[in-house]
Each structure stands twice: as structure tokens, then as C-alpha cells.
Chains A and B, each alone.
Chain A
Amino acid sequence: MPQAPRRDQYVMLPPRGLRARGPSASPELQSFFRTAEPTEAVRNVTVAEGHELPLRVVDSIGDDGAKLVEASPEDLLALRAHQPGLRIVPVVYYTPAVAPRAEVIARPQVAAAGVGPKITLRIISRQGRQPVAGAIIVAFTDLATGAGAQGTTNTRGEVGLDLGGSEVALDRLYVYPTNAFWTLRKVHVKVTDGMQFSLRPIDLGYVDGLRHYYPSSPDDAGAGVTVAVVDTGVSDHPDLVVAGGLNTVSGEDPDNFGDNGKQHGTHVAGIVAARGVPPSGIRGVAPGVTLRSYRVFGKGSGSASSFAIAKAIDAAVADGCDLVNMSLGGGSFDPVLAAAVEDARTGGSLCVIAAGNDDRGPVSFPASNEMAVAVSAMGRKGTFPSGTAEVDEVAAPFGTDKADFIGAFSNIGPQVDLTAPGVAIISTVPGSYTEISGTSMACPAVTGVAARLVVSAGLPAERDATRSEALLRALLASATSHGFAPVYEGHGRPLPT
């Protein structure tokens, strides 16, 4: 006898507040809330015109208020696709706040850093054997405990590492260049003073994960669509055209929205909108979009204020951006940032947000916000050279095609809406190109596809909740499953039309 599907309880809410009324709730959503009435058992509920799903509405706050529902994970996914304006929150059960018991969280360190001689390693290019400056070297003597040393190469390509001896057996050695080369990974290698390691240059014609899944991007793909990149800024680059933007960092020049020195935003922008032609340049998913840069990280800074991010989202909506790419996240739930993402939806802009890179941790905030489009990262074997750091990101689960996998770093959870390639993605950085992995790279791939769908989906002209919901509906409907469970891929990988 077939087993009944597992059903969990969720609270369904309109985009704002407890009742589906006013401009923040589309007419379709208002109609759904009014017609979904409590029942004793599961029954087919009309969730959109012509679409029914087996749900049980357990309780309701008035006719158009929040609903307590029972649904299976699969039906929940379908419900979100048909009613993208819904906020769906798992029911939370609170427990008595008993005092926590003390527990050991770390053993005392016995290491004596700075005691042993330093080992100097030299990083050079494979062709030409020139020094590679600015590369980050991470040497683990014990990968499991995270023990080791790290540093950055100087202009001679050299880095001194205090590894506690003059000849040291390493568990792992990683080299992360900032441009032009692939990363390097060595396993069980013995290092001595003066050893050299050579890096393989990146060929811009290489078929990486992005180009494998999205091989062709016409010049006009995404034309007429405006995309905001809320990030570390976007630098001038031969493959990029930045139409404008804003620096929302307090105390800095608002017109300085170029890269802050961290490269991240320029890399993200290239995945959406690079207009180069391989092998002299690279191409993004939607080269025709109007690209705008909203810098929220201060000059040279590694962190962004929630105020700067919320300010950037508001500015992007006011500037008419159809899509807001946010390859960032972390920290606890923030009602102000959540409100900014929700107000963007009401204003007709869709926020596409990276799920985070905590090695299968829960989807980070703000991607976990119900009004965000949360993106996990998938990869594909054979789209990066063996011997690169990305080898470590190949992990179960594997897809229907066993070459497909969800990147080991990617966060997962019921909030994941879509997945996209995010392992070893080649894109633009100031003055060059590099490959980086992360949900940060998967996120702009989805943004690029969404931009192409804005053109083909025939969206209403007025910028409001109805427009952004229609775009989300088209985006989710375009997705194809790669055979992963919904917590890994959501609806799957979106496809441009």
C-alpha cells in the first residue's frame, strides 16, 4: 500500500502584515486567501486559476488573514510557484528557557606560533615561470583540526609560512591566485624552504560550469532590463558597461561605486552581464542588460552594514531596477533588511540572493526571507581542471546525471528556490579574469536568466507586486530539475527562453 506523503504545518502569510489586502498583495493572492477555508481533512484547494493542490487549511485569522496549513514539501514547492507573493513559514514550537549546561567547546592550544623557522614557498606561472603576486597560500598540517599557516605572496611570488619546522608534511596545500590562474590543490605534500609551485593560466575559451549550462548568450539577451548588483562595487573592465549606480557606505563618495578592492562585485557583474567574446573576453548570461552598481562594502573593507544594504535596495528600486542581485548574506534575522527586500517586491523588483557558503548549513539571511529568491550552487565534474581547489567541492548528492552535484560549500534548506552553477566560475575582476566558487556565483547566473525572462514573459508595465510575482512565477516555471531533493535545488535550474 502506498504511504501517505509526509505533511508538515506551515503558516501562510501575505507579503506584508497578517491580512491579504492593500497594494502589497496581488489580486490573485487576495483571492486565494479569501477562498482557502479551514477544513477537517486534506482537500484539493484552488491555489491559482486552473491549479489545485492537496492541502489542509487548519486554521485562519479571519477571511483574508494568515492561514495555518498542512502540506507536503512537494506541494509546498508547487504552491510557492503558483503564488509567489506568499510568505510560508514553518510552525515554530517554543520550549521552556532552561539554563544551558556548560560544555567543552575547544581544547587548549599547545602550539607555539612563531617559534620554528619559516619556510618560504614560491608561486610561479606554469608558462613563463614568472612570479605570481597576491596569491593566498593556505597550508594545513592537519586539515581535520584546521592547523597550519597561511599568507599572501609578495611581488617575488614568495610567502613565508611558520609551519613549525624546516621540512613539514602537509595534509593539504591550497593556492588561491587573485587573477589569471586556476587555483591549486596539493594533497600529502612535503614542503621545504624554497620550494616552487606553478599555476595553470586560465584560458578564457574554457567551458566552465556557467558556459556548460548556459552556452550561448546573444548580444541582446536581457536588453531593456535593468539589473542592480548590490556588492563590493563594479570596476571598469573591457567586458563590462556600468550604466550608473550609488555608493551607500556612510562617509564615502556616493558616486564612487567602483570595486572596493575585493573583486567580488566585479566578478558577480561579469556573470550577469559581461559582453566579451572568448577567447579574448568572457560572456555573462545576459549581456544586453543595463547594469548598475550599488556598493555597500567600504573601500578595502570586508564587511557591509545592514543600513548600507537596505539603502542600496531602496535606491535600486527607485532607479527602476527589475532585478536586485545580492550575492551576500550572514548574520541573524534583521527586520529592517527583511522589510527592504519585501518593499522591493511590492515596488516591482525581485531580489535574487545567495543561499550562503556554510558547508550545508541552513540558508543564510537575507536569502532565507520569504520574499527573496534563494539560490544554491551546483557544479559539474569536468568543468574545472583536476588539481584545483574545486575538487574538494565535489560532494553528494549527485544529480540524475552523475556528473552534476551540489557544491560542498552550498547552504541548503526549504527556502532554496533555485540552483545554478557556482563552482569554479570564470568571470571579470579589475584588469583581468579569475575563477571563484560560491553561491555568490550561482546567484548572478539566476539573475541573468531572470533578466532574459523579463523580456520574454510579457510582464505588466506597472512596477508593483503583480509584476514581480509574475516574473518569479515565470522564473520558477522555467526551472528544470537535476534530480536533487527540493532542499538542495528548490525548483531546479532556471532556463532562459
Chain B
Amino acid sequence: MSQLSRRRFVLRYRGDGPKPEADVERLRRLPDATMIDESPGRMVLVESDEGPLRELVESLPGWVAAPEQMIPVPDTRKRVKRSPG
């Protein structure tokens, strides 16, 4: 396993009710994956290689997954792009 290929993924359960504990347990047991946060009722944050995680999520009904994204604070101020030429 390469550390470079590990990313953080957000998984959300879209079925009825809270996320199934059996599904979360399978995610916990995914080899070389680290559960970062499983406190939300319908989501978990997992650090893992993408391939094995995608494979597992596809076998779990009702789940969607996406790499964790970072969104910047909005700002309309002008910015310098380069030093004076």
C-alpha cells in the first residue's frame, strides 16, 4: 500500500433511518483504512486507498462516497498574481 494513494473520503448513507452498524463495521475492518469520524448519524469520514474503498462502498446498498473537498472562505478582493515584470 502506498501512503501517497491514501485519501480521506466522506461516506453518506441515503437509506431510511440511521446508518447500519453492520455496514460501518465492514468499513472499520477494511484493510489499511482508518476511521476518522463516525459520529454523524448518516456519515463517516474514512482515510483509505481509493480502490478498495470504492469496491466496498459499491457492495453496500444506499451509500454514496466522495473524496473530502476543501472549500475556501469566499472573497471578492483583488489579488496580485505575479511580481512586477
Contacts and interface: CB of A to CB of B under 8 A. Distances in A.
Contact of A437 (B10, B41, B65, B76): B76
- Of B14, B41, B85, the most chain A CB neighbours within 10 A belong to B85
A314 B71 contact: no
Nearest to A296: B71
Contact of B45 (A109, A174, A307, A389): A307
B80 A329 contact: no
B78 A389 contact: yes
B82 A146 contact: yes
A183 to B, nearest CB: 8
A432 interface: no
A110 B83 CA distance: 9
Interface size class of A (residues with CB under 8 A): 35 or more
B74 A264 contact: yes
Contacts, number: 150
A309 interface: yes
Contact of A329 (B40, B74, B78): B74
Given A147-B85, A164-B84, A314-B42, A262 B78 contact: no
A399 B73 CA distance: 29
Contacts of B82: 109, 111, 145-147
A109 B85 contact: yes
A444 B45 CA distance: 29
Contacts of A302: 72-73
A297 B74 CA distance: 12
Given A149-B83, A335-B66, A174 B77 contact: yes
The binding surface of chain A is classed by DSSP as mixed
A334 B81 contact: no
A112 B83 CA distance: 7
B68 A305 contact: yes
A334 B65 CA distance: 9
Interface in A139-158: 139-142, 145-150
B66 A148 contact: no
Max chain B Cβ within 10 angstroms of own Cβ: one of A146, A168, A392: A146
A440 B83 contact: no
A331 interface: yes
A226 B35 CA distance: 33
A439 B84 CA distance: 31
A335 B41 contact: no
A330 B71 contact: yes
A202 interface: no
Interface residues of B, number: 33
Nearest to B13: A339
A217 interface: no
A149 B84 contact: yes
Contacts of B81: 145-147
Given A138-B80, A146-B80, A307-B68, A438 B73 contact: no
Interface string A201-236: 000000000000000000000000000000010000
Contacts of A343: 14, 42
B66 A138 contact: no
A330 B41 CA distance: 25
B1 interface: no
B77 A136 contact: yes
Most A-side CB within 10 Å, residue of B37, B43, B82, B84: B84
Given A148-B84, A149-B84, A310-B10, A138 B73 contact: no
B69 to A, nearest CB: 4
Interface string B9-25: 01110100000000000
A339 B71 contact: no
B56 interface: no
Contacts of B45: 250, 307
Given A136-B77, A314-B40, A336-B66, 10 more contacts: A141-B85, A146-B82, A148-B80, A149-B80, A250-B45, A329-B71, A330-B74, A334-B69, A337-B69, A437-B76
